[in-house]
Amino acid sequence: MKISIVTISYNQAEFLERAIKSVIEQDYEDIEYIVVDPGSTDGSREIIERYRSRIDKIIFEPDEGPADGLNKGFSIATGEIYGFLNSDDLLLPGALSYVIDFFKTHTNIGVVSGHSIIIDENDRKIRNSFSDHFSLLKYAYGAAILMQPSTFFRAEAFECINGFNVSNRTNWDGELFVDMALQEVRFALFDNFLSAYRLQPESITSSKKLDDQIREHACVMFQKIMKRDMMPYDLLFRVVYRLLKWIQNPRNFYERLLKGPIYGKGSFKS
């Protein structure tokens, strides 16, 4: 069973080589690795060229943002299973073997998510972060998060929704999973750590630099799922669902309580 991994990279030379090595050094052999770079000028392309013999396909052309770059990558993918790894994140050793074994034995599942280790720019561990059991209702009320680099899906699940929304510049992965769920793709949670998710000063997650757009995205996703605008009483439901999230995922609650949130985290010290 072939797995296609797409990495999009733009001026991430500081982290890119570590991301590439985390894919090509996996113990699973049937990997198709695709790297997309729309025009880096910081030495990233030289790093990609250095690993050209280990990368199956490289796209060096302008795009309209991360979602468009991912669509370009997956448009030439030939695997049965898809995953995407940002150029500042890492796959953990053995991750892809676990993923393939899961899909082979769970033929009715279209999307599976594992957990992530949160790291800083120097690869030091900050905390653990756990994916939630995914449902549209939970997502609408802000109570379902999937760790993106630890989430993998069947090619047909991606193809049935025509890929990523190119206009989404803040949470293209979240919208992808919502669109899949709306098409009745089945989700599963895999209780294993598959990736390292990096917090670094320039990332969307840690910097909060697109905070207004992220709040707008949450409203748009609510409308998409619920087929109506958010009403004042929905704030109560949001509180209830988020409380249930912590009750159902006590390990994540413990990490949150002890080490603080991931989003907007200003310190990168472990």
**Percentage of residues in the chain with pLDDT exceeding 70?**
94
Position 170 confidence tier, pLDDT thresholds 50, 70, 90: confident
Position 154 confidence tier, pLDDT thresholds 50, 70, 90: very high
Predicted confidence at residue 63, as pLDDT, reads 94
Q: What is the mean pLDDT of residues 10-34?
A: 97
Helix/strand number for the chain, H first, E second: 11, 9
Predicted confidence at residue 266, as pLDDT, reads 47
What kind of architecture, by CATH, is found in domain 3-259? Alpha-Beta Complex (3.90)
pLDDT tens per residue across span 238-247: 999 999 999 9
pLDDT tens per residue across span 111-152: 999 999 999 999 999 999 999 999 999 999 999 999 999 999
Cβ proximity of 104 and 26 under 8 Å: no
Predicted confidence at residue 264, as pLDDT, reads 60
Positions of E strands within the chain: 3-8, 31-37, 57-60, 81-84, 90-91, 111-119, 125-129, 151-154, 187-198
Predicted confidence at residue 110, as pLDDT, reads 98
Predicted confidence at residue 209, as pLDDT, reads 55
* DSSP letter assigned to residue 37: E
* DSSP letter assigned to residue 116: E
Mean of all residue pLDDT scores within the chain:
92
Rounded to the nearest 5 degrees, what angle is found at the Cα of 182, between the Cα atoms of 179 and 186?
95
The CA–CA distances, whole Å, from 146 to 41, 94, 169, 236 equal 32, 20, 18, 23
